[in-house]
Amino acid sequence: MSRPVVEVTGLTVRYAGATALDGVDLAVGEGELVALIGANGAGKSTLVKALSGLLRPHAGTITVRGRLAQVPEGREMFGDLTVDDNLRLGGWRNPEGRRGRDTSPIYELLPELSDLRRRRAGSLSGGQQQMVAIGRALMARPDILVVDELSLGLAPLVVTTLVGHLRTLNTERGLAVLLIEQNARLALDMCERAYVLETGRIALHGAAKDLARDPQVTAAYLGGHVEAGGGLEAGGHVEVGGGQEAGGRLEAGGHASGGHVEAAT
């Protein structure tokens, strides 16, 4: 791993006595694509909030070298404001001040947004909103983008476009991405390294390729037994990610326990 942009050590967060994160260690290097997968309630959202400084950890350290911007779960648009104003506000903390709030570079990076700039963000489709959320985060000129649930509720084709954009930003601008995803297939396909979060702890981590073949991971998150690993290569195409997940879930019914099935939804 290259020099880390984000380094988390021993991160512990408690809500009213309940431990949401318990000694999490995680790092993302410069220009690296890293996935964090885990079931509902594993602590993914808590980790995102802690990384963005919206939540004070009970113990542990978070070191961010450079700037971190978040694409929040559920897109979180400023629904009453225009797309352009949404983007502009993304540059609120940009150190360049007024000049840093110029939105034109975003329309070059994400040309789909150009025609939407005067539209109310609340009136857009989910995919369009997700693109606005990414653009808004990019306005902060981040070194690392924390994307919380990229694919949730979006059509597979839309997800493909979004992943394409993230990959381009990664290769052309050296943008690091920490992708928090329920769709493990998508996350492991897109990223180089991955962490598996289970009930507040990092259960596994390693190269995404290896994790995709790991029997534990396949059973719990990829909705199938090891044979599915072979299928993954073929099914690794992002456009089938969403559909695959649903199909995999049915298939998993026989093999995985109830908890595992839940993890795949």
Comparing CB distances to other proteins, the nearer of 26 and 146 is 146
| CB 31 to other proteins: min, Å | 23
| CB 54 to other proteins: min, Å | 6
Comparing CB distances to other proteins, the nearer of 98 and 108 is 98
| CB 70 to other proteins: min, Å | 5
| CB 223 to other proteins: min, Å | 31
Comparing CB distances to other proteins, the nearer of 130 and 244 is 130
Which residue blocks in the chain are alpha helix, DSSP H? 44-51, 83-90, 104-109, 126-138, 156-173, 184-190, 208-213, 215-221, 227-235, 241-252, 258-264
**CA dist 223 to 42, 226, 227, 228, Å?**
17, 10, 11, 8
| CB 197 to other proteins: min, Å | 21
| CB 93 to other proteins: min, Å | 4
For 174-190, the DSSP string reads: --EEEEEES-HHHHHHH
User: DSSP label at 150?
Assistant: S
| CB 138 to other proteins: min, Å | 11
Comparing CB distances to other proteins, the nearer of 74 and 174 is 74
- Of 236, 242, 241, 261, residue with least CA distance to 250: 261
Q: Are 171 and 253 in contact (CB under 8 A)?
A: no
- Of 38, 44, 36, 34, residue with least CA distance to 193: 34
Measured distance CA(61)–CA(57) in Å, rounded: 8
For 155-167, the DSSP string reads: -HHHHHHHHHHHH
The dihedrals phi and psi of 162, each to the nearest 5 degrees, come to -65, -45
Block residue for tokens 């993914």 = 44
Footprint on this chain of other proteins (rule: CB under 8 A): 52, 54, 70, 72, 76-81, 85, 88-90, 92-93, 98, 101, 136, 140
Comparing CB distances to other proteins, the nearer of 89 and 109 is 89
Measured distance CA(204)–CA(162) in Å, rounded: 27
Comparing CB distances to other proteins, the nearer of 72 and 241 is 72
Comparing CB distances to other proteins, the nearer of 142 and 223 is 142
